[in-house]
Structure formats: C-alpha cells, structure tokens
Chains A and B, each alone.
Chain A
Amino acid sequence: DQQVKQNSPSLSVQEGRISILNCDYTNSMFDYFLWYKKYPAEGPTFLISISSIKDKNEDGRFTVFLNKSAKHLSLHIVPSQPGDSAVYFCAASGFYNNNDMRFGAGTRLTVKP
C-alpha cells in the first residue's frame, strides 16, 4: 500500500522555466514532508522540508507547498537549471519518528539547456 505517490515518473522543462513536481499522500497522520534529490551513482540528498503547521516553505530557488485538505504537496523550482536534472523523491512521516518515513517512487526531472 503506497501511502505516498508521485504520479509523474518523468518531467522535462526548459532551462529558466518553472519545474513543478507533485506528490500525493493518503495517511492523514503524516506531519512532516520532505523532498530528496538523487543524482546517478549517488545516494539521495535532503533538499527541503515542511511541517504540517505550514503551507509553504522556501529555500532559494526551491519552494514546497503543502495542501493538507487535499493531501497534496508540490515542489517548485524557479528558475530551473540543467544541474537540477535528477530524480526527486517525496517523503512523509509522523513528526516524532523518522523510522516511519514513506517515500514516493520518484520523478525524473530533465532540464534542457
């Protein structure tokens, strides 16, 4: 039972444009949401997170939006750069334990020069 879903396996955008990656979850007990980025031959690295008490968190070119009523979060990258080309994983967990983290299947983002 996949509690975190990323329905788009891949996304292609032009350099300088906005990239929007989407993620849906089913467990209303999730309180903390994260995005990880993975380059080939490397492990995933933490990118940005948001807790359920917020609806937006921004870090430079990366912004995560959370819509709790819709059980949906999204990652916006503006402007997109070729170096952003990677696989992006959405993850969710309860607030007090990181051992119950659930990951989506990932979205492969390609940013074309």
Chain B
Amino acid sequence: DVKVTQSSRYLVKRTGEKVFLECVQDMDHENMFWYRQDPGLGLRLIYFSYDVKMKEKGDIPEGYSVSREKKERFSLILESASTNQTSMYLCASSLWRTSTDTQYFGPGTRLTVL
C-alpha cells in the first residue's frame, strides 16, 4: 500500500523561526510536491522535485525553500516564518511526471505561526 508520511500533524511556531516540514514516501516515486491548502483557495503548489537534488518552483515559492537529498525524502523549509504562512501543508508524490500519474498525498501538517 502506498504511503506518504509527514513529520507532524500540528505545529506551532513563532514569527521569525526557521521551520522544517518533512515528508517521506515509501513508493520509490521520482516526483515529490509541496502544496499549501487555504480556505477558499484550494491547493497551491509551492515547490516540486523531479529527482534527487532537483527542485523547481511552483506557483507560490516566495518565503520557502526545499531540500531533496534522498529520493524518498522531501523537506520544506520556512527560513523565517511569518503569520501569513499559517496554513495546511500537504506533501505528495507521483511515479512520473505525466498528468495520468496519480499524486499520492500525505495527511498534512497544520502549521500555525504566532
């Protein structure tokens, strides 16, 4: 059974803190994604990665960076957290890049920045 896990379900941080969100997939997938979900806006892509050490910006990369040192792990980094980064963060993975390759999502991390 496919599995995408995220390090925390809930996280509370203070403004200016450096925040790490971790995602691990056990399906040997090439592609991994980070989205944020906000009420009324759906899921918006922050960054994605097609391979180890490869990364591409999504629609809203400002204020975020990512790291993919191993195929199974994709980290989202908030260098200096701000209150407008309070959101639900969802990680996903897919085998390949085409649209027919299903994206499998983790359960999400709800981040609150005070």
Closest Cβ–Cβ distance, residue A70 to chain B (whole Å): 20
Binding site for A on B (CB under 8 A): 4, 9, 31, 33, 35, 39-45, 48, 56, 58, 90, 92, 94, 97-108
Chain B residues within an 8 Å CB radius of A32: 99-100
User: Residues of B contacting A102 with CB < 8 Å?
Assistant: 42
Compute the total of residue contacts between A and B using a CB distance below 8 Å.
Answer: 72
Q: Which residues of A contact B (CB under 8 A)?
A: 2, 4, 6, 9, 31-32, 34, 36, 41-46, 49, 89, 91, 93-99, 101-106
**A71 → chain B, closest Cβ, in Å?**
17
Q: Are B58 and A99 in contact (CB under 8 A)?
A: yes
CB distance from B97 to the nearest CB of A (A): 6
Alpha-carbon distance between A58 and B81 when the two chains are bound, in angstroms: 44
